[in-house]
Amino acid sequence: MNQYGFDEEIFMEKIKEHADKKKFVVLIIYDIVDNKVRTKMVDYLSQYGVRVQKSAFEAYITRRQYNVLAQEASSLIDIGTDSLRMYLLFDSMSVQSWGIGNNRTEDVIIL
């Protein structure tokens, strides 16, 4: 506790506690060659979010969950033939999502 009655240690614990509870929108996109591995990925990602396309999931998770998800999902793929992309959307962004049909978009950049 400092001279003003402020306990910095307790304050930092509260900040960390709040940060652990804060949730983010995460977009997970994958391209996996092997059907068995793809099925494992779908089963795994279903624990965290909702499948929005054949190879895409959206999740609303904490930073801690994101870290676990990134590590575990990365271990499922073969980096020689497969790909995995994860987009963590921070609160400074405003995202409105909508889609229909079987459209493909090239060179999408999110700033």
> Could you report the per-residue pLDDT of 49-67, keeping only the tens digit for each?
999 999 999 999 998 999 9
Structural domain tally of the chain?
1
* Tally of residues, the chain: 111
- Is 37 inside any structural domain? yes
Read off the pTM: 0.68
- Is 104 inside any structural domain? no
Q: Which CATH number is 67's domain given?
A: 3.30.70.240
Per-residue pLDDT, 23:
86
Task: Kindly indicate the confidence band of residue 9, based on its pLDDT and cuts at 50, 70 and 90.
Answer: confident
Which whole number is the average pLDDT over 31-58? 94
- Is 49 inside any structural domain? yes
Return d(Cα 49, Cα 69) in angstroms, integer: 11
- Is 16 inside any structural domain? no
| Structural domain boundaries, residue 77 | 23-89
- Is 101 inside any structural domain? no
- Is 84 inside any structural domain? yes
Tokens of 22: 């804060």
Using a pLDDT cut of 90, give the percent of the chain over it: 48
Per-residue pLDDT, 36:
94
C-alpha angle 78-67-21 in degrees, rounded to nearest 5: 155
